[in-house]
Structure 1
């Protein structure tokens, strides 16, 4: 399975990064304001362009030498985005011209060893501004691509150059046939402890390979003859105590790790309960379509009665209602309680994530479902479901052909999903549905 590439947009403050981000994302997601340093956090979005799909990360502006605490934090955040990315779009401003800061940012990017695409923004009139664009060749990082993010001009040529750097990173990932598991969660919930305990009990660890995200380690492990790679998103070792800043680091690390994984294990601290931060991190795994296990850690520290597991499970299902398919396990990294069972659960959700169901069986289930619950209608027109087929796996994705898409309410799609889950389980994996119209046969 090829992994979705990650593209980071970096540059000094106020060169137009968020405007480009919004143009590519198709909606106004990043705040655009004509004041340096408005985008203080990094925002990510999945982008489709021609036959390519990738995750775009918008970053706060880099001021290489600034002593200002906010700008320094933004620089650190941008560095993490750079470490996480497969390709970097380095944006400069034709109106401001080449600055010392641009040269320093270019030096910073060169050290990353990542492919860099130089993007010269605010070229609203190419005939007038073309000579000014040539100045940026002096950065020594290749051909500058002139664009106008506001007018959406030149973006096609820019993206063509960006995607030309994708193939190598995807191929490298595909050579590894192990199941990749991202251990995700808030800081200090025990992510590293879980991996360390698993390694301690299984001496068949192959090696430690530095991961693509800063401070993350990819740990290959063999267990019962099967190969696994744990991607640890720990490593928040900075002295920064500002809660929001920690959250920013956490989100971009999580995006990077989840994109490379098949299975995401969301670690929740039993003492904290399920929090809003947990829901944000869970949302990343859900949107990426990964198989999900929720591991409630430090369960040994909780005073329990006969209803404790039931009550905690209920809280998880309420707070994370969008991923009711996720498997839940109660563990203790400290004592090792139920940790080995994680392997069985990983195998199960990984198999379900890649499960393919034959078209004939799917259509039998759908026909039966329609008989049991009549499809919705509007103004005398009744929804007709003609045909269902599975288009892809990881996650399992189904296409349903109907007479009128507008009549296929979300609730009826969910009903069909529940029937399929009842027949095949699909525990631990999201299911995706694409609704297509087909004209009625006369």
Structure 2
């Protein structure tokens, strides 16, 4: 069985105006993580996948809140540092050569040093190495290693900095032991009842609980057994203890969600039945969709809703409208308070987990495709008609298919969606996204 590859997470910490976003954009380049055709997700980029040489990692910008007063700045930075220490494998600490060494830098450096996480100290705005080198050396006083001079705007020095960053990725840490148990992340915005849901799952007598130390981070995953089957709930320790950081800070919450979603196979998005789907929910759902995870939407606090025979349909329709890009997601109505339908939640997790890892024989896929093409003729443009030659499944988690065609340009999004629907009609694939890769080959091949 192949080992599970996990992308390392690198978080950027630093005072306002030291150039965190500029650095972020320079590294993320055009490879923006948020897919442009996913409606309902604001282009609020706090994370992106960065590829450097043969390494891929997820870069997270913890900033984004620009306070005014001095003491607020320190509080903000401490909050950022806490998030980074909690979620990242490597921390990029960004300082500004022109502002020099500031008191709050030193205080945050202490925090980072105590965390024992690898920290890469980066001195920004060094647009001339000759001119500023003595100022760069001043940052040795922070006691967190060699400062790397860079200019994010002019893209100077980024290679050396990245080399230092990737040198900290532990080869062993990136490959977690393959584990057949479903890995479930319970995500959602504050106060929707994530903690009470987890506590309810843990609190039932039928659940055996043991905290296993997390992987390269200090997170603790929780093993839960139900009807003789084991499940791993990701990073639930962080959810159970009330975080010191003000949870309203939306960015932070999403940063944590990225980390949890990245390590899970199945994402349970908990939303509040009374409030419905919020913009934050949509963002987290978008991350799960983009990352190709199986998704269950758990509508919590169902006991608190006045109901008639139409209520379930109305709520379902609202959820489907907001999350229109994930029609495959399963919806379940629960109450963490009363324990209503929590046993059903495990059944759903089993089902979507199977679908997420399902393989379909090539012969069957090609029969479905041939039939689909016969039923609805492929589009044509300027007299040239799209031809579909062959389809095969190349991966699972999520199920990924390659379709060979005569001309990629002719394979419109809508026709791919049509083929997807035909496959879903036969196999269901409930709860999991499907990925399609379109490849060109000429008639002779």
* TM-score (normalised: structure 1): 0.87
For the Cα contact (< 8 Å) 2:302–2:334, is it kept in 1?
yes
For the Cα contact (< 8 Å) 2:173–2:216, is it kept in 1?
no
Distance 1:330 1:132, change over 3 A: same
Indicate whether 1:190 and 2:193 are aligned: yes
| Aligned counterpart, 1:311 | 314
Q: Helix, strand or coil for the counterpart of 2:249?
A: helix
| Aligned counterpart, 2:362 | 359
| Aligned counterpart, 2:435 | 432
- Deviation of 1:53 (Å): 2.5
In the TM superposition, what whole-angstrom CA distance separates every residue of 1:264-323 from its partner, at most 9, and x where no partner exists?
Answer: 111111111223232222112212211110111111222222222122111111111111
For the Cα contact (< 8 Å) 2:173–2:215, is it kept in 1?
no
In the TM superposition, what whole-angstrom CA distance separates every residue of 1:47-105 from its partner, at most 9, and x where no partner exists?
Answer: 333333322111228999x6544663454244213321111112223344444443332
CA distance in 2, matches of 1:135, 1:118: 12
Indicate whether 1:159 and 2:162 are aligned: yes
Q: Helix, strand or coil for the counterpart of 1:322?
A: coil
Q: Helix, strand or coil for the counterpart of 2:191?
A: coil
Distance 1:389 1:52, change over 3 A: farther
| Aligned counterpart, 2:266 | 263
CA distance in 1, matches of 2:398, 2:333: 25
In the TM superposition, what whole-angstrom CA distance separates every residue of 1:395-426 from its partner, at most 9, and x where no partner exists?
Answer: 12222222222211110111111112122211
CA distance in 2, matches of 1:402, 1:291: 28
| Aligned counterpart, 2:280 | 277
| Aligned counterpart, 1:234 | 239
In the TM superposition, what whole-angstrom CA distance separates every residue of 1:147-193 from its partner, at most 9, and x where no partner exists?
Answer: 22112233233223322322356456436553221111121111111
- Higher mean Cα deviation, 213-222 or 432-441? 213-222
CA distance in 2, matches of 1:158, 1:423: 50
CA distance in 2, matches of 1:376, 1:288: 29
Distance 1:364 1:130, change over 3 A: farther
| Aligned counterpart, 1:372 | 375
In the TM superposition, what whole-angstrom CA distance separates every residue of 1:229-274 from its partner, at most 9, and x where no partner exists?
Answer: 2233635846887x8x432332122112111211111111111122
- Higher mean Cα deviation, 79-88 or 123-132? 123-132
Q: RMSD over aligned Cα, in angstroms?
A: 3.2
For the Cα contact (< 8 Å) 2:398–2:434, is it kept in 1?
yes
In the TM superposition, what whole-angstrom CA distance separates every residue of 1:316-343 from its partner, at most 9, and x where no partner exists?
Answer: 1111111111011111112211101111
CA distance in 2, matches of 1:103, 1:281: 34
CA distance in 1, matches of 2:29, 2:210: 42
Distance 1:177 1:135, change over 3 A: farther
Q: Which has the higher contact order (CA 8 A, sep 6+)?
A: 2
Indicate whether 1:16 and 2:19 are aligned: yes
The structure 2 residue matched to 1:339, chosen from 327, 337, 342, is: 342
| Aligned counterpart, 2:326 | 323
- Higher mean Cα deviation, 145-154 or 313-322? 145-154
Distance 1:6 1:439, change over 3 A: same
The structure 1 residue matched to 2:94, chosen from 84, 91, 96, is: 91
- Deviation of 1:124 (Å): 2.8
Structure 1: 5+ residue runs without aligned partners? Answer: 31-40
Indicate whether 1:295 and 2:298 are aligned: yes
The size of the alignment, in residue pairs, is: 430
For the Cα contact (< 8 Å) 2:7–2:174, is it kept in 1?
no
Q: Helix, strand or coil for the counterpart of 1:208?
A: strand
| Aligned counterpart, 1:409 | 412
Distance 1:62 1:395, change over 3 A: same
The 5 Å alignment of 1:47-62 reads 47-60=50-63
Q: Helix, strand or coil for the counterpart of 2:239?
A: coil
- Deviation of 1:428 (Å): 0.5
| Aligned counterpart, 1:148 | 151
| Aligned counterpart, 2:41 | none
- Higher mean Cα deviation, 172-181 or 260-269? 172-181
The 5 Å alignment of 1:196-215 reads 196-209=199-212
Distance 1:191 1:356, change over 3 A: same
For the Cα contact (< 8 Å) 1:2–1:170, is it kept in 2?
no
| Aligned counterpart, 1:246 | 249
CA distance in 2, matches of 1:47, 1:239: 30
Structure 2: 5+ residue runs without aligned partners? Answer: 34-43
| Aligned counterpart, 1:4 | 7
